[in-house]
Amino acid sequence: MKRFYETFVVFAVMIWLFSCSGSPGGVSVLTGDFDTPVFESLKCESSRAVTLVFSESVTGTSLEVGKSESVQIENALMCSLTEKIDAEFVAASSKVLEVRFLEPTEIGCSYIVRGAVKDSHGNTLTFATIFKGFNERVPQLILSEVQTRYSNPKAEFVEIYAKTGGNLSGVCIFSAKDGTKMRYEFPAVEVDAGEFIVAHLRNSEAGVQNETGSDLSLSAGTYSSESRDLWAENSSARLGDKTDVVLLEKCAGGEVLDAVAFAESSLEDWPKEIYKEALDRAVKSGVWPSSSIKDAANGDKLSATRTISRQTDAVLAGKDGWLVTATNTASPGKANSSKQ
């Protein structure tokens, strides 16, 4: 009974407080905008600036930019910077702030940008995010050969060919079957014109090594080539066996440098919308003629012993520029076979 009485008294007092907002001892309800701005994204388009997008119009109140050793986004706010660079905020639009650097960033190096902003109501946000130094020297690249199926110990691979020299930092291989979370991003590697680069999409063998320097004889995997071999940190299935859209991107979600689409002839349409969306990007970039599955290369004969190989260096190769080569003619790191 006593506990009930105490509860009743507390409840009654709460009612009295909230009903007397106009009295000296009453409760006033505050009005206005108390929502903190939200940091939405970063875009890096040059070696001297990045743009930061927020949920509303903001002004910058503090800023710090610098190099960091392999930082994770979770601790970007607190970790130390190994080398700071001078930078300043510049308003780009109502919700966008540009951060300009007084010296250029280095290709492929990890950087942190962090600071504080406030909106027109005085609500503040402390933020931190990471980015890599912009690559202004992306070579002219084309897809060359794709091994879609795993056959222990032979791993799936995507071979690319450099028509000009440059740096691979930020260049990505995207598979519609894999989805956006499984993109392979190339490290900051200098390549020469005429060089083959083989991206192996799993590394379940002992002895495999990333050949990021001038020594191209380091890797010892079964499909290791005489050219440059790079290995994804992955041990599961990759790529569609006989149906997929593979893009070579300048950066994740960015300009499409090249594409190959292949599908089983029995299919009337792509199995998911993501396949068509990927090809739409390739068509927009002028590297594939159509997003229709009818304009995909025939993938019926693809297997663990047969690859799909490019037969022309034309920019717009299309389905007629690719074929599934004969059994055991995979040629990672070398000129492609034309045997069927």
pLDDT digits (tens, 9 = 90+) for 215-248: 999 998 888 999 999 999 988 888 999 999 999 9
Q: Characterize the bridge pairing of strands 96-101 and 110-118.
A: unpaired
CA distance 122 to 213: 50
Average pLDDT over residues 114-138: 95
At residue 76 the predicted structure's pLDDT band, cuts being 50, 70 and 90, is confident
Q: What pLDDT shows up at residue 24? A: 45
Structure tokens at 218: 């380091």
Secondary structure of residue 283 in the 3-state scheme? helix
pLDDT at 75 over 90: no
Average pLDDT over residues 51-64: 96
pLDDT at 66 over 50: yes
Place of tokens 């290709």: 107
Secondary structure of residue 216 in the 3-state scheme? coil
At residue 195 the predicted structure's pLDDT band, cuts being 50, 70 and 90, is very high
CA distance 183 to 249: 10
At residue 33 the predicted structure's pLDDT band, cuts being 50, 70 and 90, is low
At residue 20 the predicted structure's pLDDT band, cuts being 50, 70 and 90, is very low
CB 289 within 8 A of CB 172: no
**Strand segments (E) across 137-208:** 141-147, 157-162, 166-167, 172-175, 184-185, 190-191, 195-200
At residue 74 the predicted structure's pLDDT band, cuts being 50, 70 and 90, is confident
Q: What pLDDT shows up at residue 34? A: 64
Is 62 or 315 the better-scoring residue by pLDDT? 62
Torsions phi, psi of 212, nearest 5?
Answer: -95, -10
CA distance 126 to 182: 30
pTM listed for this prediction: 0.83
CA distance 271 to 326: 27
Q: What pLDDT shows up at residue 70? A: 65
CA distance 228 to 321: 24
Q: Which tens digit of pLDDT belongs to each residue from 240-278?
A: 999 999 999 999 999 999 999 999 999 999 999 999 999
Average pLDDT over residues 129-152: 95
Torsions phi, psi of 208, nearest 5?
Answer: -75, 140
Q: What pLDDT shows up at residue 169? A: 97
Q: What pLDDT shows up at residue 79? A: 85
pLDDT at 7 over 90: no
CA distance 55 to 7: 44
Mean pLDDT for all residues in the chain: 89
Is 154 or 29 the better-scoring residue by pLDDT? 154
Average pLDDT over residues 204-214: 90
CA distance 228 to 309: 18
Structure tokens at 258: 């090249």
Average pLDDT over residues 6-19: 33
At residue 19 the predicted structure's pLDDT band, cuts being 50, 70 and 90, is very low
Give CA 120 to chain center in angstroms.
33
At residue 211 the predicted structure's pLDDT band, cuts being 50, 70 and 90, is very high
CA distance 335 to 106: 33
CB 126 within 8 A of CB 115: yes
Q: What pLDDT shows up at residue 49? A: 97
Going by C-alpha positions, the residue among 27, 108, 112 that lies closest to residue 74 is 112
Average pLDDT over residues 115-129: 95
Q: How many residues are present in the chain?
A: 340
Q: What single-letter DSSP state applies at residue 5?
A: H
Order of strands across the sheet with 157-162? 228-231, 195-200, 157-162, 141-147, 308-310, 322-324
Task: Tell me the β-bridge partners of 53.
Answer: 41, 96
Q: What pLDDT shows up at residue 61? A: 95
Secondary structure of residue 75 in the 3-state scheme? helix
Q: What pLDDT shows up at residue 173? A: 98
Structural domains in the chain, CATH included, are 39-132 (2.60.40.1220), 141-324 (2.60.40.1260)
Q: Characterize the bridge pairing of strands 49-54 and 39-46.
A: antiparallel
* Number of neighbours of residue 116 by Cβ within 10 angstroms: 14
Average pLDDT over residues 276-295: 97
